[in-house]
Structure 1
């Protein structure tokens, strides 16, 4: 029997070598598919900008991911089928009809271990390095076989269309912002990105989704100067104010006629023969800038930078003043105002000894979420009080309590129709509004 096998190997060594080469090529296709689909696009773009030609090839290949995968699958299946056919032919000549079963088992083991698991495990361990190594070899194959892959993809899409499944190669499943946000959240869960950095990156991504009305200082909390007050009163209010810019109104709070900067006031008072009693506050006021309350924060930030201004008056669609927004308000949406990720350090929030949180009703939901790592929804309401009113479908009385989103909200203080203070604690049993 040994002599027969040796004689067989002597006669068919070329075929055996061909099978081994095909297994190696199959491993190359499998590893290349895994590496090129898992490679970091951002890292490849960085390397390409730094002059790495191989990174440029990788970027060109993954721009049409469906064509790349289809081409590699075609190549992989071709070599697998050819290797299996050669092996079956060889073993039939050696063992007769039982050679089919032996070839099936042998090729299954060899293909799974050496052409699938091994190369893919290697590729996924270092996808960027693997992709850079194989990209120059994959590109010419994609150029040759790519049209066939495109044809196959078109046939597949047509078949799926018959069953009501429509695939679009132009529209990604996730937007670039969603992919970036998901990556940041994943890195945060893995411990690679701390909460503060995650919140800053999330703040940048949220700018396009938030409107000025979500972060503005409401007109009820807005500090402003009455131009009809005596000049010395206006001067004293401006100098005692913690803000460097204050709106100036006349007749009614809706009639904003200017914005007074404390530096302009000090500069005017430094002029010869100018006293607070004789100062014309209107003359030193800057022209007010009005912006719609529906402007998103990304556009408003760009407008602040373009105009080189720091404050804007927010109006609704009827031109009524709703509040004001500053450049600092938008920047705080990015950097936050939390001193330490484990401490509560936002105005209007106090943690009690029993673990509950006492919150002013005007505290923005986003600030509370960022401070406590909660996930209360802020789509329908901007403040905590607004959230309670929205969920309860009423204006609650004092000591009324509601349970939603895993939290127990108790109204501690109400002034007229405004909820001014609440206590929040973890709900023992999550349920609907009660």
Structure 2
């Protein structure tokens, strides 16, 4: 080999190194986390800001990378073919094809892209400056290529920028959270909190309210001592006050106001003027989204509201705590089932009170029961059965077997739920 041959070999190797660089840079930049880059840029990282600028003009970026990669690959193949033709004659074309195919595919495509895909953020930051320089140098050529591509796609009926994403931003974010949870990057409790926060737009006040059958109320016509007893016996700090009928809410009593009045009267109930302690009731529609109700709680600086239907009748009450529990949940430990009304059984089934919300059960048991047509698990069974089942009846739907254990009048109070997949697995093991 003379000096000219060594020069050609050196040029081929440099072209292959450039191809390695372009291939890895393309994968790293396109696979990098937009959220991470935005956060780094906000913290003052200039390389992250440049990555964001490059990704904002994705057409120019991909065009520069493809042009650079193809130019160096073609140049390397042409020089290698010429050199091997000079060395081996016509059979050199075969040698050049085999050697360059192996080198380009293995060392210039698979290897750099695999390495970049494994750590895209760090590599994207490392190649930001040189790739940015390439994009600027190829600016005029990229403009011409982009115009030609757009014209050809337009002739085929494809208009760049008009295609709508399949998923909304909230759905994509929820999918990202689920993916990170499966990969081990996000714990279950954190996934549930993030999922609950994203669900606030989709849930309504009716989904989280305390139903009127479970609301502790006081009768304005009762003696003061009985009203005070009703206020102090409930789990909430505010108790609705009705007069004439439970549907006629005249106001709300606050526990602190009652205690202050009781202290001022030195424990004499007869001296308490209940009417002077009543605060105006705040009524909200049951169809209001939880996100709006949360904002309303903050604006009014109150934590309690009465829920009414379209006819103005009280359906229940909602508190700030009820909304916050949709985010943080009621679980103290991610491995322990501590939700009220859910009792796992040794055979894999779960005994559930009828009033347990479907969302809470899904969150605790990692199930996916639908909650679009019913709020509670009893409501789901009634919806699917199209009737009010009797104790002992069983139904199978959504991959579970539901057995009604107890019923009081028209309310299902207890059920046994068995996942069919676990039951089949157990039967197969026994068999």
- What is the TM-score of this pair, normalised by structure 1? 0.90
Shift of the 339–20 alpha-carbon distance from structure 1 to 2, 3 Å rule, reads same
Q: Which residue among 193, 200, 204 is the counterpart of 1:207?
A: 200
Q: Which residue among 400, 403, 408 is the counterpart of 1:407?
A: 400
1:112 and 2:105 correspond: yes
Shift of the 391–272 alpha-carbon distance from structure 1 to 2, 3 Å rule, reads closer
Whether the 8 Å contact between 1:70 and 1:153 is mirrored in structure 2 is no
In the TM superposition, residue 153 of structure 1 has moved relative to its aligned partner by: 4.7
1:154 and 2:147 correspond: no
In the TM superposition, residue 242 of structure 1 has moved relative to its aligned partner by: 2.3
Q: Name whichever of 182-191 and 308-317 sits farther off.
A: 182-191
SS of the residue 1:413 aligns to? strand
SS of the residue 1:78 aligns to? helix
Shift of the 132–272 alpha-carbon distance from structure 1 to 2, 3 Å rule, reads same
1:261 and 2:261 correspond: no
SS of the residue 1:120 aligns to? helix
Q: Which residue among 217, 224, 235 is the counterpart of 1:231?
A: 224
Counterpart Cα distance in 2 of 1:226 and 1:424: 39
Q: Which residue among 291, 311, 317 is the counterpart of 1:318?
A: 311
Whether the 8 Å contact between 2:150 and 2:159 is mirrored in structure 1 is no
Aligned to 1:3: none
SS of the residue 2:416 aligns to? strand
SS of the residue 2:39 aligns to? helix
Q: Which residue among 66, 70, 73 is the counterpart of 1:77?
A: 70
Whether the 8 Å contact between 2:60 and 2:146 is mirrored in structure 1 is yes
Whether the 8 Å contact between 1:67 and 1:149 is mirrored in structure 2 is no
Aligned to 2:357: 364
Aligned to 2:119: 126
- What is the TM-score of this pair, normalised by structure 2? 0.90
Counterpart Cα distance in 1 of 2:159 and 2:242: 58
Shift of the 393–318 alpha-carbon distance from structure 1 to 2, 3 Å rule, reads same
Whether the 8 Å contact between 1:225 and 1:246 is mirrored in structure 2 is yes
Aligned to 1:102: 95
Residues 388-422 of structure 1, C-alpha deviation per residue, up to 9 Å, x if partnerless? 11222222222110112221100112223221211
Whether the 8 Å contact between 1:26 and 1:79 is mirrored in structure 2 is yes
Q: Which residue among 336, 348, 353 is the counterpart of 2:341?
A: 348
Q: Which residue among 174, 180, 199 is the counterpart of 1:181?
A: 174
Aligned to 1:337: 330
Q: Name whichever of 187-196 and 293-302 sits farther off.
A: 187-196
In the TM superposition, residue 250 of structure 1 has moved relative to its aligned partner by: 2.0
Residues 17-46 of structure 1, C-alpha deviation per residue, up to 9 Å, x if partnerless? 332222121111101111111212222222
Aligned to 2:296: 303
Shift of the 55–377 alpha-carbon distance from structure 1 to 2, 3 Å rule, reads same
Q: Which runs of 5+ in 2 are unaligned?
A: 426-431
Aligned length: 420
Counterpart Cα distance in 2 of 1:293 and 1:70: 53
Shift of the 39–257 alpha-carbon distance from structure 1 to 2, 3 Å rule, reads same
SS of the residue 1:270 aligns to? helix
In the TM superposition, residue 296 of structure 1 has moved relative to its aligned partner by: 1.2
Whether the 8 Å contact between 2:265 and 2:271 is mirrored in structure 1 is no
